[in-house]
Chains A and B, each alone.
Chain A
Amino acid sequence: MTDDLIDRLAAHLKPVRYMAMQRQLIGALLLSGVLAIVAMLMLLGMRPDMQTAAVTMIYWTKFSYTLALALLGLAATLVLARPGGRTRWPWLAAVALVALLVVLAVIQLARADDMMPMIMGSSIIRSLTYIPILSLPVLLASMLALRRMAPTRPALAGFAAGIMAGSTGAWIYAFACTETGMMFLALWYTLAILIVGAVGAVFGRFFLRW
């Protein structure tokens, strides 16, 4: 019986490309990312003052904070997609990144005349709604890709994919977001990303079992 199985498997052998796993995950991320960008343009549109915003510190902070978190999520997902994969440094780096942003935010607050707009902004609900929505394409695509891989810690792999998706969604949302407070970014963007991470963990727990 096992011999029959071996015969059948050997008969269906197809060569595996070099770095096939990385190609699939990164390909899924890029394709679904483009879809999310189109969704952002249709649902929200670019912020009207993009020209002037593109030279501000806060815009580039948003841009690089979310992009760095997305890359750390990708790095963790790539490790956890393999059987027995363990991650440590991507999580430590992510925590360090959040801590760094909080420090910058406190410095910005200390210089501000009025703190509250820097913290609460005017679009908390909007951010907490649209970041998860714009994360959905990447979340679904990375889950589908991971299903064909071998995560032996499905919930953690799902969480990593969720952080990657949430950060990508936040990076895309940042093109439409006019908030200027770093603390707003540190609190609400991070919260939105963590929500997507939690959704990914729950997804992974049930959807990535094999």
Chain B
Amino acid sequence: MQADPTEMRLRELMLASLDGDAAAYRKLLADLGKHLRPYFTRRLTPAFASHAEDLVQETLLAIHTRRMTYDRNRPFTAWLHAIAHHKFVDHVRRQSIRLTVPLEDDAPILAHDDNTDAVARRDLDAVLDNVPTRTSDLIRRTKIDGASVAEAAAAHGMTETAAKVSIHRGLKALAARFAGGPK
């Protein structure tokens, strides 16, 4: 079986860490932080993107305190994924946050470049800043995250009609401002 280079490198660091090599451990945790940040950011709605850092820290802490549950003969990334996934699900449950990705999504943590996403998201954030926060969140939920109007309305405790009106007005205002067109 041909293991991929990331798996081999991380596993080697983990094995050294389990033997008490603090330098390898520091390198491992720093590396994992870099992989975990986009992993969580991608799974949270933009409105909750700030929770990603908390989740990274919680996951690193869990990796530390529960490192004896890693089986030295098994893939490290699978173990890591199981912990990160658990932390994410637990976080969502506690916060009852709307998800951007279904829980069953088993996309790999590694090898994801979040740079392009970040650029697109920054533009989007800048545009949506021009309407009230609640309106922009409703637009995000319905137009970007793919939630139904009813779900988005429920999240804000609004009626469906009110949410529809709010989304419509928000989009109209944005169109007026950015499309340069008439009313």
Q: Is A125 an interface residue (CB 8 A)?
A: no
| Interface residue ranges, B against A (CB under 8 Å) | 17-22, 25-26, 29-30, 33, 53, 56-57, 60-62, 64-72, 78-79, 81-83, 85-86, 90
Q: Which of B60, B62, B72, B82 is close to A2, meaning CB atoms less than 8 Å apart?
A: B60
Instruction: Tell me, in angstroms, the Cα distance from A150 to B62 when the chains sit together.
Output: 8
A positions within 8 Å CB-CB of B: 1-3, 5-7, 9-16, 18, 20-21, 24, 81-84, 148-150, 152, 209-210
The number of residue pairs between A and B whose CB atoms lie closer than 8 Å in the complex comes to 83
CB distance from A28 to the nearest CB of B (A): 13
Q: Closest CB-CB distance, B85 to chain A, in whole Å?
A: 8
Given A2-B56, A9-B25, A150-B69, are A15 and B61 also a contact pair (CB < 8 Å)?
no
User: Known: A7-B26, A9-B60. Is A82-B69 also a contact (CB below 8 A)?
Assistant: yes
A15–B14 alpha-carbon span in the complex (Å): 11
Q: Which residue of A lies closest to B32 (CB)?
A: A6
Which among B17, B19, B26 has the greatest number of chain A C-beta atoms within 10 A? B26
Report B75 CB to chain A, min CB distance, Å: 11
Ordered nearest first, which 10 A-B pairs have the shortest CB separation? Answer: A84-B82, A15-B20, A83-B82, A10-B26, A150-B66, A20-B68, A150-B69, A6-B29, A152-B86, A16-B18
Q: When the two chains form their complex, are residues B90 and A209 in contact, meaning their CB atoms are under 8 A apart?
A: yes
Q: Is the interface of A mostly helix, strand, loop or mixed?
A: loop
Instruction: Report whether A2 and B53 are in contact in the complex, using a CB–CB cutoff of 8 Å.
Output: yes
Asked if residues A83 and B68 are in contact (CB atoms below 8 Å), the reply is: no
Verify A16–B22 contact, CB threshold 8 A. Answer: no
Residues of B within 8 A of A210 (CB): 62, 66, 86, 90
CB distance from B74 to the nearest CB of A (A): 9
CB distance B56 to A13 under 8 Å?
no
CB-CB under 8 A from B66, the residues of chain A are 83, 148-150, 210
Contact check, B61 vs A5: say whether CB atoms are below 8 A apart: yes
**Apart from the given pairs A6-B60, A82-B82, 6 other A-B contacts in the complex at a CB distance below 8 Å:** A10-B22, A15-B19, A82-B70, A83-B69, A84-B86, A148-B68
A142 to B98, CA, bound (A): 35
Is there contact, CB below 8 Å, between B29 and A1?
no
When distances are taken between beta carbons in the complex, the residues of chain B under 8 Å from A6 are 26, 29-30, 33, 60
Q: How far is the CA of A1 from the CA of B57 in the complex (A)?
A: 9
Residue ID in chain B nearest A21 by CB atoms:
B68
Q: In the bound complex, what is the Cα–Cα distance between A134 and B71 (angstroms)?
A: 32
**17 A-B interface contacts by CB (under 8 A):** A2-B56, A3-B30, A6-B30, A9-B25, A9-B60, A9-B64, A10-B25, A10-B29, A15-B19, A18-B72, A81-B69, A82-B82, A148-B68, A149-B66, A150-B69, A152-B85, A210-B86
Q: B residues within 8 A CB of A14?
A: 20
Contact between A11 and B22, CB atoms less than 8 A apart: yes
